[in-house]
Amino acid sequence: MNKKWECYEIDENKVSELTKKYGINEILARILVNKGLTQKEEIDLFMNPTRKDFHDPFLMPDMKIVVDRILKAMEDKQKIMIYGDYDADGITSVTVLKSFLEERGLEVSYYIPNRLDEGYGLNKEAIQKIYQEGFRLMITVDCGISGIEEIAYANSLGIETLITDHHEPTEVLPEALAVMDAKRKDNKYPFNQLAGVGVVFKLIQAISIKLKLEEKEYLKYLDIVCIGTISDIVPLVDENRVIAKLGLKLIAQTKNIGLRALLEVTGFKNIDSGAISFGVAPRINACGRMGNEKLALDLFLSTNYEEAKKLAIKLNEYNIERQNIEKKIFDEAVEKIEQEEKGKSCIIVGNKDWHHGIIGIVASKVTELYFKPSILICFEEEEGKGSGRSVPGFDLHEALTKCSTHLERFGGHAMAVGVTVKKNEFENFKKELEAYAKQCEVDKIVPIINIDSELSLKQVDMESVKSLKMLEPFGEANKMPLFLFKNLKINSIRALSEGKHLKLTLKDDNFMVNAIGFNMGDLTEKYLLDDKVDIVGNLDINSYNGMESIQIMIKDIRKSY
């Protein structure tokens, strides 16, 4: 598919000023200018944040109420129930709050709903169980903001609830004792993009300040907080960047036995945001997807290395199982799409055998492959549950709002949704949404690649490429820099891994560079030796047999004109 390449308009004067004033190399200076970082204080804060850069936790809505109520529970020796979510953000949130409160002498238990049987968020059956077990104080983490009916039910039973969440609130807030969410309309907290575990971190920071504890009593949890933050794909800017930057340093020397065991199992040698995103997070999330959410929590709470190693291996096995199921569903979905959905503006397919804990990941891959909004449905008897993903420029949640006639229920946001539809209404729903997508001219939406800067090979040296590491950790709102190289001559071309990947050697005058394109092996048929090409990609250092060389990680390629 043709993609539109767009380069940032760079203020060359500011780039020149940064290189001269602060001794920053030109490539790094270009990225900083793109980010609007031109003053030394801003650059230092971005490059080297410290624990002093955290905001005042008491600015968070209802923070004082939550802290005071927890301190009262400490005085009264009242036991607390933590109600969390089954994903990596929820699991790490429960881990941090439970561990911190238990260290303060509190009796703490937890409840995590089963994804396959209960779904996301609070439910009345769970609250009934919590009441029967004698709990009268419940703290939600990474959920609760939309549980208006459930909180009312908890109130009717005499359970007090403290909500800590980071999701968008509805017009009416639940009638909990406190609702701590920086996305509230009356919020005065300076940053409202924390993950659920980030909100929990602010809570333990506030309790520590109130109890006059040493900073290390809450800072020591930054390794686990960092994992939840990166896993939840929140923007890695402001306070999230402080959490991620400091947390990654702590992960490298973590005292959490379970995390140490999991890192060993993943096999990632470098502890960076990639190791968390592609190594740790999928293994934690696989537990929830496969209906065994408590396994990951047991791992992080483990105090025995042998037990932790067994749990880490089990997480790895669940992840492999998840990958196999995902591949099977993806292959079946693509086959159905090729047969039934060709030429349609919106892809909607369903099957009775699909695992509804995994179809969300497959929907993401389908959307990426076809660059069209997609919804995958798993049918169980007469009802279908599904997940959808969208493309930039098409609000899928709004689309469902306009096409909800044949749906039982739905939720989500512009780019990701969950739906429930009766089997006998599925075809009607498909027609309605397809007509809406066609009317919105989804087919005319072209994927855009945002490029940080155009460079020539002679501008690139080892020192400049290594300096880009200072921009880490990479993630949402802080992507790895993308560069455009024009008019490069193909000096060699071949496929790797049985034709799966593309390997090039590229030349510009007397300058040479290697380039690799993952999952681009089919392009070896399209390009020939001596062809001139334009390349968009990341700059990276390849280490092999003790030797280092610069390489381009190709994101897109086309012939030069």
* Statement: 53-221 belongs to CATH 3.90.1640.30: yes
Six-digit token pair at 187?
């919020």
Q: Where are the domains of the chain?
A: 4-48+449-559, 53-221, 343-444
Burial code of 221-239, b = ≥16 C-beta within 10 A, e = fewer? bbbbbbbbbbbbebebbbb
DSSP lists the bridge partners of residue 35 as none
Distance between CA 281 and CA 292 in Å, rounded? Answer: 15
| SS3 state at 533 | strand
DSSP H helices in 183-221: 196-210, 216-219
For residue 171, the model assigns a pLDDT of: 86
Distance between CA 534 and CA 504 in Å, rounded? Answer: 13
- pLDDT one-digit tens code per residue, 282-313: 999 999 888 898 999 999 999 999 999 999 99
CA dihedral 84, 86, 88, 89 (to 10 degrees): -30
For residue 323, the model assigns a pLDDT of: 95
Confidence check: pLDDT of 82 > 80: yes
The whole-angstrom distance between residue 55's C-alpha and the CA centroid of its chain comes to 23
Give ∠ CA 56-50-539 in degrees, rounded to 5: 125
Distance between CA 168 and CA 170 in Å, rounded? Answer: 7
Q: Which amino acid makes up residue 346?
A: C
- pLDDT one-digit tens code per residue, 110-169: 999 988 788 788 999 999 999 999 999 999 999 999 899 999 999 999 999 999 999 888
| SS3 state at 232 | coil
Distance between CA 451 and CA 231 in Å, rounded? Answer: 25
For residue 329, the model assigns a pLDDT of: 96
DSSP secondary structure string for all residues of 8-42: ----HHHHHHHHHHH---HHHHHHHHHTT--SHHH
Q: Which amino acid makes up residue 215?
A: E
DSSP secondary structure string for all residues of 36-91: T--SHHHHHHHHS--GGGS--GGGSTTHHHHHHHHHHHHHHT--EEEE--SSHHHH
Burial grade of 300 (CB within 10 A; 0-12, 13-18, 19 or more): buried
For residue 409, the model assigns a pLDDT of: 85
Comparing 246-250, 319-323, 541-545, the range with the smallest average pLDDT is: 541-545
Which positions ≥6 away from 338 have C-beta within 8 Å?
none
Six-digit token pair at 527?
């390009």
pLDDT band at 413 (very low <50, low <70, confident <90, very high): confident
Burial grade of 71 (CB within 10 A; 0-12, 13-18, 19 or more): middle
Distance between CA 359 and CA 379 in Å, rounded? Answer: 12
Distance between CA 553 and CA 561 in Å, rounded? Answer: 22
Six-digit token pair at 459?
């501008």
- Highest mean pLDDT pick, 71-75, 472-476, 541-545: 71-75
| CATH class of the region 4-48+449-559 | mainly beta
Confidence check: pLDDT of 1 > 70: no
User: Domain 343-444 carries which CATH code?
Assistant: 3.10.310.30
Six-digit token pair at 139?
């703290």
